[in-house]
Amino acid sequence: MKKFAKSFSHAANGIRQVYRSERNFRIESVLGIFVLLLSCLLPLSRTEWITVLLTIGLVLSFEILNTAVERLMDMLQPEFHHEVKIIKDLSAAAVLTVSIFAWLVGLVVFVPYIIRLTS
């Protein structure tokens, strides 16, 4: 049990670190909380809830991985290197891709409820 608690502590430290240092993670966290609050106000199905929760988790997880890749690359190659730039761009592209699909999920899940509420 001590090993699990220690692992959990390290993970929590990582989340605190990325929250403190990464503006995009803070923005995505606030947006995730907003989406969760909106979800609580609407009669989402179980499947919609699972989809929303997984989508928020994916966006935040990809942002954490992007941060890790960028820091690792900066540590391994402090000076500019074309290949490092490509690796960092690819990592950022992964976050952008999952974020675009998160918006699409949001549209698919929430727009029908909003249309019903406004009509």
CA angle 72, 60, 101 (to 5 degrees): 115
pTM for this predicted structure: 0.93
User: What is the mean predicted confidence (pLDDT) over 47-69?
Assistant: 98
Determine whether 63 is an active site residue: yes
Q: Of these residues, 22, 28, 48, 63, which one is catalytic?
A: 63
3-state helix, strand, coil in the chain (%, to 5): 90, 0, 10
pLDDT tens per residue across span 28-56: 999 999 999 999 999 999 999 999 999 99
Reported confidence tier of residue 104, pLDDT bands at 50, 70, 90: very high
Length in residues, the chain:
119
Q: What CA–CA distance (Å, rounded) separates 29 from 59?
A: 9
67 Cβ contact list (under 8 Å, min separation 6) = 18, 21, 22, 25
Calculate the alpha carbon distances from 1 to 6, 7, 8, 11, 15 in Å.
9, 10, 11, 15, 21
Q: What is the mean pLDDT of residues 93-105?
A: 98
Mean pLDDT of the chain: 96
**pLDDT given at position 88:** 97
pLDDT tier for residue 1 given thresholds of 50, 70 and 90? confident
Distances (CA, A) of 20 to 27, 32, 54, 56, 94: 12, 17, 23, 19, 22
Query: What pLDDT sits at residue 2?
Result: 86
Taken in order of first residue, the domains within the chain and their CATH numbers are 2-118 (1.10.287.3610)
